[in-house]
With several copies, the nearest count.
Chain A
Amino acid sequence: MSSLSATIQNVFNEPGCGKNANKSEAERKKGCTKQLQPGGAAGGCAFDGAKVALQPLADVAHLVHGPIACEGNSWDNRGAASSGSQLWRTGFTTDINETDVVFGGEKRLYKAIKEIIEKYDPPAVFVYQTCVPAMTGDDINAVCKAASAKFGKPCIPVNSPGFVGPKNLGNKLAGEALLDHVIGTVEPEVTTPYDLNIIGEYNLSGELWQVKPLFDELGIRISACISGDGRYKDVASSHRARAAMMVCSKAMINVARKMEERYGIPFFEGSFYGIQDSSDSLREIARLLVERGAPADLLDRTEAVIAREEAKAWAAIEPFKQRLTGKKVLLITGGVKSWSVVAALQEAGMELVGTSVKKSTKEDKERIKELMGQDAHMIDDMAPREMYKMLKDAKADIMLSGGKSQFVALKAAMPWLDINQERSHAFMGYIGMVKLVAEIDKAIYNPMWAQLRKRAPWETASNTWQAKAIAQANAEAAALAADPVAAEAARRAKKICHCKSVDLGTIEDAIKAHALNDVAGVRTHTNASGGCGACAGRVEDILARVSAPAELLQAAE
């Protein structure tokens, strides 16, 4: 087993991963590499994930070993912010050619490292492996080792070629590279009882700086942020921090957990999206630091800051209430954001008419129900046309989502706000949440929408494309309503597991036929949830709905 395979296996065993907790030992070994469906996949590869996770390390050179596609098509495309060195925004690639493919590219890679060190003298060079040299057998670990020795400068191999899996696997492989080659390699010059690591935060749009002034006020020192506005030396010496916050994305849970294992740094999962979450995170940080020896007054000081900031935030949101009360928000995002921002929106008077749960965990869903009630409209994946109909039916006033769905909303003349990675606004901490509310206000009240919803002069009421889309959807619905067989077929055709392309009917049939009562059983019989595992929640819902009544039915019979 190659070292890469071992690393991947290692990542699969991650006990800190909520998804893994649902799997048997054997299943865990199969790994969580999403088995992507040819012709039906989207999203980045493992290389992309590794680069995304590490690139915000601002002062190192990130060298991509591969053909031009991997770096040439993607460099300098992230909105992370650095307070100093901009070297991270420099694109370095070996841009391998046919000769390198045939005869191997290790020599070119070595020379490339040399050139970089000579010209840019970074504190370290991160070398990213990609598919083609992985296939031709270029050993980047060996090259990095030789280069480190020769040039006296850490050269860090990041073994995460695209084809080993999806982006989130790449995030974790990046973490492994840090654990193996960086963290703990340098001793810090000073340490304090207030030293904190932040893991999995990329400082997009500089939003860490929305929170950092509060840390500064409390005397909490960020030993290392991995990796937003990060510096090589800080990360290398981050093993002496007293506590860590793992930002909820889970992208680097392996880093947090292994640092706890190896260096005894306790961590918690937290978020600075939303007022309550911000307060919770501050509290948790203070608690962990005090537990690890910081003076106990930190707790009180933290509470005082929280009280002040919450009061200011709610006061700042207050004036928007009158304008936003009753406005309906559709939230299409992932993980914690599906509920963490809800409280602030509700406080500003808004109503959540739906939230996506495609990437949500069970706990996420519980929180949603808690906040939005049992009737919370939880949305799985949906096609653009369906989304449009949903927007119209739900009479939403605005959609908050990531860039992927923006064009659907915008082309439908719906106010839309980016709350995912590509956004140019910073929404973290207390001020960030106020900014979010203000931006929603701005988007909803933009007079443009009224114009864009008007018909073009050549359109009659019935031939607008919106009308046509709605009419088509309605016609389909009517046809289904009139034809129960077709309706049932359509219901059963709903895709549950996207990785393995398993539909609802197949799962229902399997549950009934084999009297299944857990996800593992469904997986065995239908292959559903055999990919990324994200649909496990959906399968559980089906199990709850189908198997229980089936038993009742049997009992009744």
Chain B
Amino acid sequence: MAKVTIGKKACAVNPLKMSQPIGGAFAFLGLRGAMPLLHGSQGCTSFGLTLFVRHFKEAVPMQTTAMSEVATVLGGYENVEQAILNIHKRQKPEIIGICSTGVTETKGDDVDGYIRLIREKHPELASYPLVYVSTPDFKDAFQDGWDKTVAKMVEVLVDKPTSTRRDPARVNVLPGCHLTPGDIEELRTIIEDFGLEPSFLPDIGGSLDGHIPDEFTPTTIGGIGLEEIAMMGSASWTIAIGAQMKRAAEAMQVRTGVPYRLFERLCGLLPNDELMTFLSEISGRPVPAKYRRQRGQLADAMLDAHFHIGGRRLAIGAEPDLLFDVSSMLHEMGAQVAVAVTTTQSPLLERMPCDEVLIGDLEDLENLAKARDCALMMTHSHGRQAASRLKIPFYRIGFPMFDRLGAGHLLTVGYRGTRDLIFALANLIIADREDNHQPTPDTWLDPWAEAQQAPSPDSAVVAPLH
């Protein structure tokens, strides 16, 4: 059981965290024909927009209510109304998703009330899909914005089922925000290979996978359509991925009675065994040969890689679900998660496979990684400065990844995704050893100092299993 520590600094240095409104906006990007709208000053949107554009290397739709100082003081009704009208008229999205920000939450704008008023005042918007989520910047983090937004989507967009009959082939999937478009595509293929028909809410795999679109459109391209969301109540199961999605899965169950199965992790051997077992059970089909082979390949990759990964001290900074997923997998490969830094509370924190989890920033990650002599750093692109100062290899996980290409295609789920991640990390470590840790005549000049640094046999982390 990990001790959860909350950073006590007045000044966050090199933030790990991003704000929850853009986590909410991100969720809307996984709907077809959507326009996310942040209710705040224009900077709130432009910073978020820039993050997404640099991460996905795509044009990304996102709008702002463009609150001025005066509007902020007077209340944002007019801005919300005008924004919705303008967007509805110009970009003609199928849905507008609205997230509040720090400015408008400080004032206390009643956006749900505004929307009611707007619908009354403009009959053409009476039943126009508008989903609002309260996501103040000064609370919680990116992941929270996503999970609240998906839960709200379920509550607002999913029809209550009219009959109790369920379609046995249909499965809802509620993916956490730590999954990439590549992950979503992989899961889609896996689920379809069992003869099931998945609906992903949201479906960033369809919208942000970096394909060339068929037309110029000012809203999202791809993603799940509203009619498909409406029908999710007729599915036989909901699969939720990441502890953050429990809220949305429960909302779905309450609203439609569709039972859910939560997979806290999909990186690693056993979590995917569980997924395969579950899919096999609900589909009544055996696990396809492809995945049997892939399991063998993963096991083999673990064996090949454990010589390199085993015993390494790692420093990982990520949002709770991603941190739990990746660090659990690496812990299971014998690595020591010596430093774990995250952004926000989660029921997972106490179950992290390490002694301590810190809700903190990248300065903490850097200082702890240095103090604990870590051999590898994993976090989002902003960790680049820290890793370079510490002269240790750096593996980018999570959002944003703005300084490398292909962020949308990174894979961590499934046997195959786990295999590729393990190879990538082992190869980083091998390269680092070759480049920076070749033995020299001086390596053992003071051998007993080095012996002290050997993995402590008293470490509570590496507990005997048999």
**Bind each other:** yes
B215 touching A468, Cβ below 8 Å: yes
CB-nearest residue of chain B to A163: B41
Q: Chain B 427-466, CB within 8 Å of chain A: the 1/0 string?
A: 0000001000011111111011011001111100011111
A40: chain B residues within 8 A (beta carbon):
63, 66, 83, 86-87, 90
Known: A132-B102, A322-B457. A451 touches B269 (CB 8 A): yes
Interface check A491, CB cutoff 8 A: no
If A45-B43, A95-B12, A454-B273 touch, whether A36 touches B102 (CB-CB below 8 Å) is no
User: Chain A interface: which of B46-54, B228-236, B313-321?
Assistant: B46-54
**Does B113 count as interface, using CB distance less than 8 angstroms?**
no
- Verify B464–A73 contact, CB threshold 8 A: no
The reply to whether A101 and B68 contact each other, CB–CB distance below 8 Å, is no
The answer to whether B438 and A81 have CB atoms under 8 Å apart is yes
Please determine whether A93 and B12 come into contact, CB atoms closer than 8 angstroms. Answer: yes
B121 CB within 8 Å of chain A: no
Contact status of A384 and B216, CB under 8 A, knowing A39-B63, A44-B47, A162-B42: yes
Closest chain B residue to A456, Cβ basis: B295
Contact of A385 among B216, B457, B463 (CB under 8 A): B216
**B 403-444 to A, binary, CB cutoff 8 A, 1 in contact else 0:** 000000000000000000000000000000100001111111
Residues of A within 8 A of B9 (CB): 112, 115
Give the distance to chain B from A531, nearest Cβ to Cβ, in Å.
Answer: 11
B311 CB within 8 Å of chain A: yes
A454 touches B270 (CB 8 A): yes
How far is the CB of A82 from the nearest CB of chain B, in Å?
Answer: 10
Q: A residues within 8 A CB of B282?
A: none
State which of A46, A69, A71 has its C-beta within 8 Å of the C-beta of B44: A69
Interface residue A388 (Cβ < 8 Å from any Cβ of B) = yes
A434 at the interface (CB under 8 A from B): yes
- Name the distance in Å between B352's Cβ and chain A's nearest Cβ: 14
Cβ contact within 8 Å between B82 and A73: no
List of A residues within 8 angstroms of B443 by Cβ: 206, 209
Question: For residue A76, which residues in chain B have a CB less than 8 angstroms away from its CB?
Answer: 14, 382, 385
Q: Is B327 an interface residue (CB 8 A)?
A: no
Chain B 163-202, CB-CB to A under 8 Å as 1, else 0, gives 0000000000000000000000000000000000000000
A408 to B53 CA separation, bound complex (whole angstroms): 13
Known contacts A39-B87, A68-B18, A98-B139; A447/B334 CB under 8 A: yes
Provide the residues of chain B in CB contact with A109, threshold 8 Å. 10
Interface residue? B259 (CB, 8 A): no
B261 within 8 A of A: no
Q: Is the CB of A112 within 8 A of B14?
A: no
Taking CB atoms, residues of chain A closer than 8 Å to B84 are 39
Query: Does B11 lie within 8 Å of A446, measured CB to CB?
Result: no
Neighbouring B residues of A162 by C-beta, 8 Å: 41-44, 103
B interface size (C-beta, 8 A): 113
Q: Which residues of A contact B299 (CB under 8 A)?
A: 452
B51 close to A73 (CB less than 8 A): yes
CB within 8 Å for A38 and B79 given contacts A163-B67, A209-B440: yes
Bound-state CA distance A319–B42 (Å) is 46
Q: Output the least CB separation between A165 and chain B (Å).
A: 8
**B15-A39 in contact (CB<8A):** no
Would A446 and B334 count as touching, CB distance under 8 A? yes
CB pair B464 A445 closer than 8 Å = yes
**B139 touches which of A97, A165, A209, A213 (Cβ 8 Å):** A97
How many residues on A have C-beta within 8 angstroms of the other chain's C-beta atoms?
A: 116
Q: Is the CB of B67 within 8 A of A92?
A: no
Given A44-B43, A63-B11, A67-B138, check contact A73 B215 (CB 8 Å): no
Given contacts A39-B87, A458-B286, contact A131 B47 (CB under 8 A): no
The 8 Å CB contact of A72, one of B18, B139, B287, is B18
Q: B28 on the interface (CB 8 Å rule)? A: no
Residue of A nearest to B87 (CB): A39
B86 contacts across to A, CB distance below 8 A: 37-40, 501
The smallest C-beta distance from B26 to any residue of chain A, in angstroms, reads 12
Whether B441 pairs with A323 at a CB distance below 8 angstroms is no
Compute the total of residue contacts between A and B using a CB distance below 8 Å.
342
Q: Which of A75, A163, A213 has the most CB of B within 10 A?
A: A163
Contact segment of B238-246, B247-255, B302-310? B302-310
Q: Please give, as numbers and ranges, the residues of chain A lying within 8 Å of B87 by CB-CB distance.
A: 39-40
- For B311, list chain A residues within 8 Å (CB): 442, 446
**Bitwise interface map of B from 280 to 303 toward A, beta carbon under 8 Å scored 1, else 0:** 100000110000100100011011
Q: Check A268 for interface membership: any CB of B closer than 8 A.
A: no
Question: Smallest Cβ distance from B68 to chain A, in angstroms?
Answer: 6
Decide: B292 and A48 in contact? CB cutoff 8 A: no
* Cβ-defined contact, B83 with A39, below 8 A: yes
B106 lies within 8 A of A132 (CB)? yes
B111 to chain A, nearest CB (A): 13
Within 8 A of A (CB), among B111-151: 136-139, 141
Task: Please determine whether B12 and A92 come into contact, CB atoms closer than 8 angstroms.
Answer: yes
A451 close to B270 (CB less than 8 A): yes
Asked whether B58 is an interface residue with its Cβ less than 8 Å from the other chain, the reply is: yes
Chain A 115-166 residues near chain B, CB threshold 8 A? 115-116, 119, 131-132, 134-136, 161-166
Q: Which residues of chain A have C-beta atoms less than 8 A from B464's C-beta?
A: 323, 444-445
In the complex, B204 has a CB within 8 A of chain A: no
Of chain A, the residue at the smallest CB distance from B302 is A448
Report yes or no: A115 in contact with B11, Cβ–Cβ below 8 A.
yes
Asked whether any CB of chain A lies closer than 8 Å to the CB of B219, the reply is no
- The yes or no answer to A469 lying at the interface (CB within 8 A) is yes
**What are the residues of chain B within 8 A of A212 when measuring CB–CB?**
441
**A69 near B447: Cβ-Cβ < 8 Å:** no
B353 nearest in chain A by CB position: A447
Q: Which residue from B274, B382, B445 sits with its C-beta under 8 Å from A213?
A: B445
Complex Cα–Cα for A415 and B78 (A): 42
- Whether the pair A431, B90 counts as a contact (CB closer than 8 A) is no
- The listed residue with most A CB atoms (<10 A of its CB), out of B295, B444, B451, is B444
Contact at B213–A465, with CB atoms within 8 Å? yes
Among A97, A114, A410, A438, the most chain B Cβ lie within 10 Å of the Cβ of A410
Contact B102–A43 (Cβ < 8 Å): no
Given contacts A35-B68, A39-B37, contact A388 B216 (CB under 8 A): yes
Closest 3 CB pairs of A and B: A45-B43, A206-B439, A39-B83
Contacts A39-B85, A434-B451 known; list 10 others, CB within 8 Å: A67-B19, A68-B12, A77-B402, A93-B12, A161-B41, A209-B439, A209-B443, A384-B218, A426-B439, A451-B270
- 28 cross-chain CB contacts under 8 A: A39-B37, A40-B83, A68-B15, A69-B47, A69-B101, A72-B19, A74-B51, A94-B12, A95-B11, A101-B106, A108-B10, A112-B10, A113-B11, A116-B13, A132-B102, A161-B41, A206-B438, A209-B442, A209-B444, A410-B303, A424-B307, A438-B455, A442-B311, A443-B310, A445-B465, A448-B306, A454-B269, A456-B273
What residues of chain A have their CB less than 8 Å away from a CB belonging to chain B?
33, 35-48, 63, 66-77, 81, 83, 86, 89-98, 100-101, 108-116, 119, 131-132, 134-136, 161-166, 205-207, 209-210, 212-213, 312, 316, 319-320, 322-323, 383-385, 388, 397, 403, 407-408, 410-411, 413, 424, 426, 429-431, 434-435, 438, 441-452, 454, 456-458, 465, 468-469, 501
